[in-house]
Structure 1
Amino acid sequence: MTLLDIFPSLRSAMSPRLDPAVWPINTHHDEHGRITVGGVALSDVADQYGTPSYVIDELDVRHRCRTYREIFPEAEIAYAGKALMTRALASWVSQEGLALDVCSAGELTIALSAGVDPRRIIMHGNAKTPAELTAAIDAGVGRIVIDSYTEIVVLGSALDHKQDVLVRVTPDIDVHGHRAVRTGVADQKFGFPIDHGQADAAIKRVLDQPHLNLIGLHCHLGSQITDPEHFGAAVHRMIAQMAQVYHDHGLILTELNLGGGHAVSYGFDDVPLDLTQLASTVEDALDEACARHRFPRPKITLEPGRAIVARSGVTVYRVVSVKHIEGGRTFVCVDGGMSDNPRVCLYAARYSVALANRHPVGAQVPVTVAGRHCESGDELAVDVPLPADVRPGDVLAIPGTGAYHHGLASSYNSVGRPPIIAVCNGSARELIRRETIDDLLRRESSL
């Protein structure tokens, strides 16, 4: 008999700490040392639905929606559907009072099928096709964000009624953040640069189209932005541009969309964006810029995606084998990999990993969690601590996988994409089923 058998309460005390900055808010260890999310043991999800599986905590999603609405009570919060788009997710964020932004006809269709009010949908995309623009018009979306001269012509000729639009401009602000992706600088594919008069020219062309009702400007600075001052700088540049529109055309633009890109934590060395500081920075910048240019205060829209769902998601895997290389690394090989989480290969993303199905015995050792695919770079986590007794059949959990995982997943090596399992108040339900080999074969033409 062990000490844990005599004192079972020690199990939870001895379980490794689960960082609340990375895991869903409803994450705990049960009396058996198993990790639970939303009141459901992740090992039970693995047993019932197989592995790998994406798990998403519904109440965590709703909590983050409410947090945004509390911190930004005067702003419109539009969930960026590209982070994760399912009918259930669209329904949850809509019920919590968020608008929704989409960037394809597919995302638009999912949102509409979930019952989202089309007037609260914003249509994005730097290369929207004529068919997608027609779909947005027919659906009656509230706003279309114009991103090219071609769109101005196509929209202008396709409409027989007034359509509210925004023009996406690039304020040439370089975010320079840790692991940040830069989309607010001039030399990239999105929007019209403010510099050299390109934004001015696009705005004039929009105003020349009788059916395009220009109501505001849009910008997006990038992703994983940690410094709120970047958004303050964007406010100053955007208000100056809006004031220029009034000077040139006598038109007062009433909406300023600052996009998203709010940083979240994936590991111990990541710094999330402080939303309270962001709110204060944007507020001060608006006061200063509007006073300087004598311009009426516009309505602000923010478009968080990752910041809503990333930490709501956990992916569970089954250990297939453990391989110790003499003088080298220890590889813990699992039944998923780059097909369900390509962010490691694409962005050198770093994740924490935890043993989910039992209380560990023994010391922690550094390992590489390797994927199943026939690529040397298929590694989900490098040099992460796991119990020395990790073995085949164990369930591992990787937190922070709610955003840009299902949406970026592929069927590489003809491995079907994982299911999405929602957990809430002790119950689990399947939102999207596992993709099977039969699904893949149905896409093929007959021999």
Structure 2
Amino acid sequence: MDFATNHEGQLTIGGVAASQLARTFQTPLYVYDIGAIRQQIRAFKRVFEEADVSYAVSYASKAFATIAMYEVAKSEGAHVDVVSGGELYTAQAADFPMAAVSFHGNNKSKAELTQALDAGVGTIIVDNFHELDLLDDLLGDTVGQQDVLIRVAPGISAHTHAYDQTGQTDSKFGFDLASGQADEAAKRILADDHLNLLGIHAHIGSQIFEVAGFEAVTQKLLHVLNNWHQQFGFIPKVLNVGGGFGIAYTKQDDPLPPEAFVKAILATLKSQSQTLNWPLPAIWIEPGRSIVGPAGYSLYTVGSRKDVPGLRPYVAVDGGMGDNIRPALYQATYTAVLADQPNAAPAEHVHLVGKYCESGDILIDDAPLPTTTSGDVVVVFDTGAYGYSMASNYNRNPRPAVVFVENGQAQLVVTRETDADLIKNDLHYAAPTEQPAPAQTDATAATK
């Protein structure tokens, strides 16, 4: 695992010692190296620009959505995609340009679609016929058009965890291709004066290490678009191949550089271009994890320890499944070091566990670490995606703060929740006063 250190051998993030960040902002703590985020966005953009292809790098903000993150994406000229009214509201609060926003989701509510239309969201990625009905109802009396993409289930399964697979036919996402649903959706949208069909979208899954799936989905989407051109005279403007580019969480993971997936997609696209009699569309990608995952770190403080002869010790920290549910949910694996001894040789293998009242609250089941003592700061790598986004208040624990670090300067961008925050939506219960039993009438008495 690559990391930087200072002259004292301490692990640094964005030029600041992790142990100093822990002292200043307390733990548990999410920390992001913003320079790393910028570098990855620029690496994606560079591939497209060197290939002279029209494109959009659309940050999949479900990975990590805060006002400050949308501001960073805006400063880098990225698009973003949102999957809820809450994410859209956050992007609006960041003054993100709505024309560069795509709205995803398999069950967008009427209220969310109204919010998106009122906000001027650039592209709605339509997932099903119910959503088309809602849009028809909302746009029926309006003037102008809403740009849309059709999300399809391409029948391609990614080699990843079952919960992370989204491209197979048996999925809740997208119009089915094999049954003709996608063709019917295209026909319906093209006949609708209020909708402007830009093109097609597919997403085959997450944490993918192989390019074959992206090459296959690119070929399939081009085939579908060619059929739509022949059937309907449709000329696509956008081909969105989604995201899901894998990252390394442990030494056992060996992913390609994220931009290598883009190169494979573009190579497939260009190899097929001679068979098309319409101009190549703009290529959109939706990386999330690959942009923020490696840039994120979780900092914890060691507390208790349990030693049982013949068994692996348990070392407990002050966070756990409330700030990183992925190990419990996906059996996700991570790498950890001590903040002040990141290069120290392991002295033992431990269960690195959290403080939550669950036996499954295990952050790393087999963590090789130096001997730890209470008060040590532990750094877990690559937690920038789906840590904060999936955090909870389980056991009534406040969620951690978030700090951005860039050029040796640290800035708090999400404050730590307090105990008062935990009850701010709670209301007291006033039990109803006991009512006297109704008076017995002669009629009811006679039946007894």
Task: State whether TM-score is above 0.5.
Answer: yes
Q: How far, CA to CA, are the matches of 2:352 and 2:203 in structure 1?
A: 34
- Residue equivalent to 1:286: 269
Map of 1:7-22 to 2, 5 A cutoff?
Answer: 19-20=1-2
Are 2:78 and 1:102 aligned? Answer: no
SS at match of 1:216: strand
Q: Which has the larger radius of gyration?
A: 2
* Separation in structure 2 between the aligned mates of residue 412 and residue 109 of structure 1, nearest angstrom: 25
Equivalent pair of 2:44/2:262 in contact (CA under 8 Å):
no
Do residues 259 (structure 1) and 239 (structure 2) align?
A: no
CA–CA distance in structure 2, aligned partners of residues 50 and 284 of structure 1: 47
Matches within 5 A, 1:45-444: 45-73=21-49, 74=53, 75-159=55-139, 160=142, 161-177=144-160, 181-358=164-341, 364-388=347-371, 390-444=372-426
Question: 303-312 or 427-436: which moved more?
Answer: 427-436
Q: Report the RMSD for the aligned CA atoms in angstroms.
A: 1.6
Deviations 1:41-60 (A, max 9, x none): 11111112111000011111
- C-alpha spacing 1:359/1:309, structure 2 compared with 1 (3 Å): closer
Task: State how far apart, in whole Å, the 2-side matches of 1:345 and 1:289 are.
Answer: 42
Bigger drift between 167-176 and 398-407 goes to 167-176
| Superimposed CA distance per residue, residues 296-350 of structure 1 (whole angstroms, 9 cap, x where no aligned partner) | 2111000000000001110000000122111111111101000000000111011
Distance 1:205 1:425 in 2: 51
Higher mean C-alpha deviation, range 355-364 or range 371-380: 355-364
Moved more, 249-258 or 172-181: 172-181
CA shift for structure 1 position 442: 1.0
Distance (Å, rounded) in 2 between the aligned partners of 1:100 and 1:359: 35
- Greater alpha carbon shift after TM alignment, 258-267 vs 196-205: 196-205
Distance 2:259 2:342 in 1: 37
Distance 1:361 1:193 in 2: 52
Distance of aligned partners of 1:138 and 1:308 in 2 relative to their CA distance in 1, 3 Å threshold: same
Stretch of structure 1 that moved more, 169-178 or 219-228? 169-178
**Larger mean Cα displacement after TM superposition, 113-122 or 173-182:** 173-182
For residues 280 and 401 of structure 1, the distance between their equivalents in structure 2, rounded to whole angstroms, comes to 26
What is aligned with 1:4?
none
Secondary structure of 2:423's counterpart equals helix
2:261 maps to amino acid: L
How many Å separate the matches in 2 of 1:133 and 1:359? 48
In structure 2, the residue corresponding to 1:72 is in which secondary structure? helix
Q: Post-superposition shift, 1:446?
A: 2.2
> Is contact 2:346–2:368 with CA below 8 Å preserved after alignment?
no
* C-alpha spacing 1:32/1:276, structure 2 compared with 1 (3 Å): closer
1:42 paired residue among 12, 18, 29: 18
CA distance in 1, matches of 2:293, 2:278: 37
Amino acid aligned to 1:88: A
TM-fit CA distance, 1:361: 7.2
Cα distance in 1, alignment partners of residues 260 and 318 from structure 2: 41
Task: Give distance in 2, aligned partners of 1:225 and 1:272.
Answer: 8
- Specify the SS of the correspondent of 2:148: strand
CA contact (8 A) 1:235 1:289 kept: no
Q: Helix, strand or coil for the counterpart of 2:283?
A: strand
Q: Aligned letter for 2:25?
A: Y
Taking structure 2 as the reference length, the TM-score comes to: 0.91
The C-alpha deviation readout for 1:44-92, integer Å capped at 9, x for no partner, is 1111211100001111111111111112223210001100011111111
Q: 1:228 to 1:415 in 2, by over 3 A?
A: same
Give the Cα–Cα distance (whole angstroms) in 2 for the partners of residues 373 and 211 of structure 1.
51
Q: How many residues align?
A: 422
Partner SS, residue 157 of structure 2: coil
1:178 Cα shift? 7.2
In structure 2, relative to structure 1, the CA distance for the partners of 1:210 and 1:262 (3 Å cut) is same
Kept after mapping to 2: 8 A contact 1:311/1:399:
yes
Q: Distance in 2 between matches of 1:197 and 1:154?
A: 21
Q: Secondary structure at the match of 2:147?
A: strand
Moved >6 Å (runs of 4+): 359-362
Residues 410-435 of structure 1 deviation map (CA, whole Å, 9 limit, x = unaligned): 00000011000111222211100111
Q: Tell me if structure 2 keeps the 8 A contact 1:316–1:397.
A: yes
1:179 CA displacement: 7.9
**Which blocks of at least 5 consecutive residues in structure 1 are unaligned?**
1-18, 21-26
Query: Which one-letter code corresponds to 1:134 in the other structure?
Result: T
Tell me the distance in 2 between the aligned counterparts of 1:179 and 1:250: 38
1:30 equivalent to 2:9? Answer no
In the superposition, the TM-score normalised over structure 1's length comes to: 0.91
Could you say if the C-alpha distance between residues 185 and 363 of structure 1 is closer, same or farther in structure 2, counting changes exceeding 3 Å? closer
Contact 2:398 2:416 (C-alpha < 8 Å) held by counterparts:
yes
Contact 1:177–1:227 (CA under 8 A) maintained in structure 2: no
Provide the C-alpha distance between the structure 1 equivalents of 2:345 and 2:307, rounded to a whole number of angstroms. Answer: 17
The whole-number CA distance in structure 2 between the counterparts of 1:245 and 1:362 is 60
